[in-house]
Structure 1
Amino acid sequence: MITPHSVNDFSKQMRAIPEVTTSIGGINQICYDNASPTLLNLLLLPAIKQLGQQAKWMLWLTPENKLDRSWLEHSGISLSKSVQIPMLDDDQKIDSMTQALKSGNYSVITVWLDSTLSAEQQNSLDFLAKESDTVVFILHKNSPHNRSTRQMSHQKIPTFAFL
Protein backbone atom coordinates (compact mmCIF):
# COMPACT_ATOMS: atom_id res chain seq x y z
CA MET A 1 0.00 0.00 0.00
CA ILE A 2 1.35 3.42 -0.97
CA THR A 3 0.83 6.19 1.54
CA PRO A 4 1.01 9.80 0.45
CA HIS A 5 3.54 12.09 2.13
CA SER A 6 2.74 15.63 3.06
CA VAL A 7 5.09 18.53 2.37
CA ASN A 8 5.95 18.60 6.05
CA ASP A 9 7.00 14.95 5.98
CA PHE A 10 9.30 15.63 3.01
CA SER A 11 10.98 18.58 4.72
CA LYS A 12 11.61 16.41 7.79
CA GLN A 13 13.20 13.79 5.56
CA MET A 14 15.40 16.39 3.87
CA ARG A 15 16.70 17.63 7.24
CA ALA A 16 17.73 14.08 8.09
CA ILE A 17 19.99 13.85 5.01
CA PRO A 18 23.47 15.07 5.86
CA GLU A 19 24.69 18.03 3.88
CA VAL A 20 27.39 17.11 1.40
CA THR A 21 30.18 19.64 0.99
CA THR A 22 32.98 19.47 -1.48
CA SER A 23 36.46 20.54 -0.51
CA ILE A 24 39.27 21.34 -2.87
CA GLY A 25 41.74 21.18 0.00
CA GLY A 26 44.44 18.56 0.25
CA ILE A 27 48.15 17.79 0.12
CA ASN A 28 50.05 17.58 -3.18
CA GLN A 29 53.68 16.44 -3.04
CA ILE A 30 55.87 17.33 -6.01
CA CYS A 31 59.53 16.57 -6.76
CA TYR A 32 61.41 19.29 -8.62
CA ASP A 33 64.74 19.97 -10.25
CA ASN A 34 66.17 22.59 -12.57
CA ALA A 35 65.78 20.43 -15.67
CA SER A 36 62.19 21.35 -16.60
CA PRO A 37 61.42 25.05 -15.97
CA THR A 38 58.32 25.06 -18.17
CA LEU A 39 56.47 22.69 -15.86
CA LEU A 40 56.31 25.31 -13.11
CA ASN A 41 54.86 27.88 -15.49
CA LEU A 42 52.41 25.44 -17.07
CA LEU A 43 51.21 23.49 -14.03
CA LEU A 44 51.88 24.98 -10.63
CA LEU A 45 51.66 28.72 -11.27
CA PRO A 46 48.20 28.68 -12.89
CA ALA A 47 46.86 26.67 -9.95
CA ILE A 48 48.41 29.05 -7.41
CA LYS A 49 47.18 32.07 -9.39
CA GLN A 50 43.61 30.72 -9.49
CA LEU A 51 43.63 29.83 -5.79
CA GLY A 52 45.04 33.29 -5.04
CA GLN A 53 41.86 34.87 -6.40
CA GLN A 54 40.05 33.76 -3.26
CA ALA A 55 39.72 36.18 -0.35
CA LYS A 56 42.20 34.11 1.66
CA TRP A 57 45.99 34.50 1.87
CA MET A 58 48.77 32.60 0.08
CA LEU A 59 51.60 31.25 2.25
CA TRP A 60 55.10 30.49 0.93
CA LEU A 61 57.39 28.52 3.28
CA THR A 62 60.62 28.71 1.35
CA PRO A 63 64.28 27.77 1.63
CA GLU A 64 66.74 30.49 2.63
CA ASN A 65 66.25 32.34 -0.67
CA LYS A 66 63.52 34.90 -1.10
CA LEU A 67 60.99 34.59 -3.89
CA ASP A 68 61.57 36.89 -6.83
CA ARG A 69 58.80 39.48 -6.45
CA SER A 70 58.93 40.56 -10.10
CA TRP A 71 58.60 36.91 -11.16
CA LEU A 72 55.49 36.55 -8.98
CA GLU A 73 53.98 39.78 -10.33
CA HIS A 74 54.77 38.74 -13.92
CA SER A 75 53.05 35.40 -13.20
CA GLY A 76 49.90 37.25 -12.11
CA ILE A 77 50.18 36.26 -8.45
CA SER A 78 49.05 38.95 -6.02
CA LEU A 79 51.82 40.16 -3.74
CA SER A 80 49.28 41.88 -1.48
CA LYS A 81 47.88 38.51 -0.37
CA SER A 82 51.20 36.65 -0.25
CA VAL A 83 53.10 35.86 2.93
CA GLN A 84 56.61 34.41 2.69
CA ILE A 85 58.50 32.89 5.60
CA PRO A 86 62.06 31.94 4.57
CA MET A 87 64.90 30.28 6.49
CA LEU A 88 62.97 27.74 8.53
CA ASP A 89 64.10 24.17 9.02
CA ASP A 90 61.72 21.38 8.00
CA ASP A 91 60.26 20.92 11.49
CA GLN A 92 59.53 24.65 11.74
CA LYS A 93 57.95 24.60 8.26
CA ILE A 94 55.71 21.68 9.22
CA ASP A 95 54.71 23.45 12.45
CA SER A 96 54.02 26.69 10.56
CA MET A 97 52.02 24.82 7.95
CA THR A 98 49.98 23.09 10.67
CA GLN A 99 49.19 26.40 12.38
CA ALA A 100 48.28 28.03 9.06
CA LEU A 101 45.94 25.16 8.19
CA LYS A 102 44.30 25.33 11.61
CA SER A 103 43.71 29.07 11.16
CA GLY A 104 41.75 28.53 7.94
CA ASN A 105 43.07 31.85 6.56
CA TYR A 106 44.95 30.46 3.55
CA SER A 107 43.73 29.31 0.14
CA VAL A 108 47.11 27.86 -0.86
CA ILE A 109 50.30 26.98 0.97
CA THR A 110 53.49 26.25 -0.96
CA VAL A 111 56.30 24.73 1.08
CA TRP A 112 59.77 23.49 0.16
CA LEU A 113 60.91 20.53 2.30
CA ASP A 114 64.22 18.67 2.34
CA SER A 115 62.81 15.63 4.14
CA THR A 116 59.79 13.50 3.38
CA LEU A 117 56.72 13.47 5.58
CA SER A 118 55.90 10.49 7.72
CA ALA A 119 52.60 8.76 6.99
CA GLU A 120 51.19 10.22 10.21
CA GLN A 121 52.28 13.77 9.29
CA GLN A 122 50.91 13.36 5.79
CA ASN A 123 47.52 12.11 7.04
CA SER A 124 47.28 14.85 9.67
CA LEU A 125 48.18 17.64 7.24
CA ASP A 126 45.84 16.26 4.57
CA PHE A 127 42.97 16.17 7.09
CA LEU A 128 43.67 19.77 8.17
CA ALA A 129 43.95 20.91 4.54
CA LYS A 130 40.57 19.39 3.69
CA GLU A 131 38.99 20.85 6.82
CA SER A 132 40.28 24.35 6.05
CA ASP A 133 39.71 24.03 2.29
CA THR A 134 43.39 24.79 1.64
CA VAL A 135 45.48 23.41 -1.21
CA VAL A 136 49.01 22.56 -0.08
CA PHE A 137 51.90 22.07 -2.51
CA ILE A 138 54.85 20.36 -0.85
CA LEU A 139 57.94 20.61 -3.05
CA HIS A 140 60.86 18.22 -2.57
CA LYS A 141 64.17 18.82 -4.31
CA ASN A 142 64.98 15.86 -6.53
CA SER A 143 68.28 14.26 -5.57
CA PRO A 144 69.89 10.89 -6.41
CA HIS A 145 68.88 9.56 -2.96
CA ASN A 146 65.30 10.80 -3.36
CA ARG A 147 64.97 9.32 -6.84
CA SER A 148 65.50 5.82 -5.53
CA THR A 149 63.18 6.11 -2.53
CA ARG A 150 60.30 8.13 -3.97
CA GLN A 151 57.59 7.12 -6.32
CA MET A 152 58.49 7.81 -9.91
CA SER A 153 55.12 9.48 -10.62
CA HIS A 154 56.10 12.78 -8.93
CA GLN A 155 56.26 15.91 -11.07
CA LYS A 156 59.54 17.84 -11.34
CA ILE A 157 59.53 21.55 -10.49
CA PRO A 158 62.53 23.87 -10.98
CA THR A 159 63.82 26.41 -8.46
CA PHE A 160 64.40 29.34 -10.82
CA ALA A 161 61.73 31.29 -8.95
CA PHE A 162 64.33 32.36 -6.42
CA LEU A 163 66.78 35.24 -6.63
Structure 2
Amino acid sequence: MDSNVELRREIFSSDAWKIIDWLEDNQVTAYLNERQNVSDSIKQVMYRVNMPILTHLFNQDGSFFMITTKQGEPVGFLRLVPKGKGAEMVVVIGDREKWGKGLGTNAILKGLKQAFFEWRVDEVIAKINFKNERSRGVFKKIGFTKDKELPKEVQYSMTMEEFLKIAA
Protein backbone atom coordinates (compact mmCIF):
# COMPACT_ATOMS: atom_id res chain seq x y z
CA MET A 1 0.00 0.00 0.00
CA ASP A 2 2.61 2.54 -1.10
CA SER A 3 1.11 5.99 -1.07
CA ASN A 4 1.65 9.12 -3.12
CA VAL A 5 0.34 11.35 -0.32
CA GLU A 6 1.04 12.25 3.28
CA LEU A 7 -1.35 13.49 5.96
CA ARG A 8 0.22 16.46 7.74
CA ARG A 9 -1.12 17.48 11.15
CA GLU A 10 0.37 20.97 11.19
CA ILE A 11 -1.75 23.60 9.50
CA PHE A 12 0.23 26.69 8.51
CA SER A 13 -1.20 30.06 7.56
CA SER A 14 -0.21 29.38 3.92
CA ASP A 15 -2.37 26.21 4.10
CA ALA A 16 -5.31 28.22 5.40
CA TRP A 17 -5.09 30.58 2.42
CA LYS A 18 -4.98 27.56 0.08
CA ILE A 19 -8.05 26.09 1.78
CA ILE A 20 -9.84 29.43 1.34
CA ASP A 21 -9.01 29.34 -2.40
CA TRP A 22 -10.28 25.77 -2.72
CA LEU A 23 -13.49 26.57 -0.83
CA GLU A 24 -14.12 29.51 -3.17
CA ASP A 25 -13.83 27.25 -6.26
CA ASN A 26 -17.34 26.18 -7.27
CA GLN A 27 -16.06 23.00 -8.91
CA VAL A 28 -14.34 21.97 -5.67
CA THR A 29 -17.30 22.80 -3.43
CA ALA A 30 -20.11 21.63 -5.77
CA TYR A 31 -20.90 18.60 -3.59
CA LEU A 32 -19.48 19.63 -0.23
CA ASN A 33 -21.74 19.73 2.80
CA GLU A 34 -19.68 22.53 4.34
CA ARG A 35 -21.44 25.74 5.30
CA GLN A 36 -21.30 28.18 2.42
CA ASN A 37 -19.55 30.82 4.52
CA VAL A 38 -16.77 28.58 5.83
CA SER A 39 -14.12 30.33 3.71
CA ASP A 40 -15.27 33.68 5.14
CA SER A 41 -14.95 32.25 8.67
CA ILE A 42 -11.38 31.12 7.93
CA LYS A 43 -10.55 34.54 6.44
CA GLN A 44 -11.85 36.30 9.56
CA VAL A 45 -9.63 34.10 11.71
CA MET A 46 -6.66 34.79 9.42
CA TYR A 47 -7.10 38.54 9.77
CA ARG A 48 -7.66 38.30 13.53
CA VAL A 49 -4.99 35.78 14.48
CA ASN A 50 -1.45 36.51 13.42
CA MET A 51 0.14 33.10 13.92
CA PRO A 52 2.23 30.98 11.56
CA ILE A 53 0.72 27.70 12.81
CA LEU A 54 -3.06 27.33 13.06
CA THR A 55 -3.30 23.62 13.82
CA HIS A 56 -5.31 24.09 17.03
CA LEU A 57 -7.94 26.21 15.25
CA PHE A 58 -8.61 23.51 12.66
CA ASN A 59 -8.75 20.64 15.18
CA GLN A 60 -11.53 21.88 17.44
CA ASP A 61 -14.15 19.24 16.58
CA GLY A 62 -11.97 16.34 15.49
CA SER A 63 -8.71 15.89 13.60
CA PHE A 64 -7.83 17.95 10.55
CA PHE A 65 -5.01 17.04 8.17
CA MET A 66 -3.52 18.65 5.11
CA ILE A 67 -3.19 16.13 2.29
CA THR A 68 0.20 16.73 0.67
CA THR A 69 2.24 15.12 -2.07
CA LYS A 70 5.44 13.32 -1.05
CA GLN A 71 7.22 16.60 -1.90
CA GLY A 72 5.10 18.43 0.69
CA GLU A 73 2.81 20.29 -1.74
CA PRO A 74 -0.70 20.72 -0.26
CA VAL A 75 -3.39 19.26 -2.54
CA GLY A 76 -6.36 18.95 -0.18
CA PHE A 77 -7.53 18.18 3.32
CA LEU A 78 -9.02 15.34 5.33
CA ARG A 79 -11.12 15.70 8.45
CA LEU A 80 -12.11 13.05 11.00
CA VAL A 81 -15.00 13.90 13.32
CA PRO A 82 -15.96 11.67 16.27
CA LYS A 83 -19.45 10.13 15.92
CA GLY A 84 -20.40 7.84 18.80
CA LYS A 85 -18.11 4.78 18.61
CA GLY A 86 -17.01 5.79 15.13
CA ALA A 87 -15.77 8.68 13.05
CA GLU A 88 -17.02 10.57 10.04
CA MET A 89 -14.49 11.25 7.30
CA VAL A 90 -14.50 14.23 4.95
CA VAL A 91 -11.96 14.31 2.12
CA VAL A 92 -11.38 17.17 -0.30
CA ILE A 93 -8.78 17.27 -3.06
CA GLY A 94 -8.80 21.01 -3.61
CA ASP A 95 -6.18 21.17 -6.34
CA ARG A 96 -8.27 20.32 -9.42
CA GLU A 97 -5.15 19.64 -11.52
CA LYS A 98 -4.53 16.66 -9.21
CA TRP A 99 -8.00 15.10 -9.63
CA GLY A 100 -8.11 11.54 -10.94
CA LYS A 101 -4.55 10.69 -9.91
CA GLY A 102 -5.35 8.47 -6.91
CA LEU A 103 -4.53 11.10 -4.27
CA GLY A 104 -8.02 10.88 -2.72
CA THR A 105 -7.86 7.09 -2.57
CA ASN A 106 -4.51 7.16 -0.79
CA ALA A 107 -5.62 9.94 1.56
CA ILE A 108 -8.71 7.93 2.53
CA LEU A 109 -6.56 4.85 3.25
CA LYS A 110 -4.26 6.95 5.46
CA GLY A 111 -7.29 8.48 7.18
CA LEU A 112 -8.66 5.00 7.86
CA LYS A 113 -5.37 3.98 9.49
CA GLN A 114 -5.60 7.08 11.67
CA ALA A 115 -9.22 6.38 12.64
CA PHE A 116 -8.83 2.66 13.32
CA PHE A 117 -5.31 2.47 14.77
CA GLU A 118 -4.90 5.85 16.53
CA TRP A 119 -8.49 6.66 17.48
CA ARG A 120 -9.51 2.99 17.87
CA VAL A 121 -12.98 3.56 16.38
CA ASP A 122 -15.28 0.67 15.39
CA GLU A 123 -16.48 2.23 12.15
CA VAL A 124 -15.78 5.10 9.75
CA ILE A 125 -18.61 6.71 7.80
CA ALA A 126 -18.65 9.10 4.85
CA LYS A 127 -21.73 11.06 3.79
CA ILE A 128 -21.48 11.80 0.08
CA ASN A 129 -23.76 13.89 -2.12
CA PHE A 130 -25.83 11.74 -4.53
CA LYS A 131 -24.41 13.64 -7.52
CA ASN A 132 -20.77 13.23 -6.50
CA GLU A 133 -20.07 10.16 -8.64
CA ARG A 134 -16.29 10.53 -8.36
CA SER A 135 -16.24 10.52 -4.57
CA ARG A 136 -18.84 7.75 -4.28
CA GLY A 137 -16.76 5.65 -6.68
CA VAL A 138 -13.57 6.10 -4.66
CA PHE A 139 -15.17 5.08 -1.36
CA LYS A 140 -16.83 2.04 -2.99
CA LYS A 141 -13.56 1.05 -4.71
CA ILE A 142 -11.77 1.08 -1.34
CA GLY A 143 -14.42 -1.20 0.17
CA PHE A 144 -16.92 1.08 1.89
CA THR A 145 -20.49 -0.19 1.73
CA LYS A 146 -23.58 1.92 1.20
CA ASP A 147 -25.63 1.73 4.36
CA LYS A 148 -28.08 4.63 4.32
CA GLU A 149 -29.79 6.96 1.88
CA LEU A 150 -30.26 10.39 3.41
CA PRO A 151 -32.25 13.25 1.84
CA LYS A 152 -29.32 14.70 -0.18
CA GLU A 153 -26.59 12.15 0.31
CA VAL A 154 -25.61 8.52 0.63
CA GLN A 155 -23.88 7.26 3.75
CA TYR A 156 -21.08 4.74 3.27
CA SER A 157 -19.33 2.91 6.07
CA MET A 158 -16.43 0.60 6.80
CA THR A 159 -15.75 -1.35 9.97
CA MET A 160 -12.37 -2.12 11.50
CA GLU A 161 -12.75 -5.79 10.43
CA GLU A 162 -13.43 -4.79 6.81
CA PHE A 163 -10.42 -2.47 6.84
CA LEU A 164 -8.10 -5.14 8.22
CA LYS A 165 -9.08 -7.46 5.33
CA ILE A 166 -8.12 -4.88 2.69
CA ALA A 167 -5.00 -3.71 4.56
CA ALA A 168 -3.65 -7.25 4.96
State TM-score, norm by structure 2.
0.25
More strand by share: 2
Q: Which has the higher contact order (CA 8 A, sep 6+)?
A: 1
State TM-score, norm by structure 1.
0.25
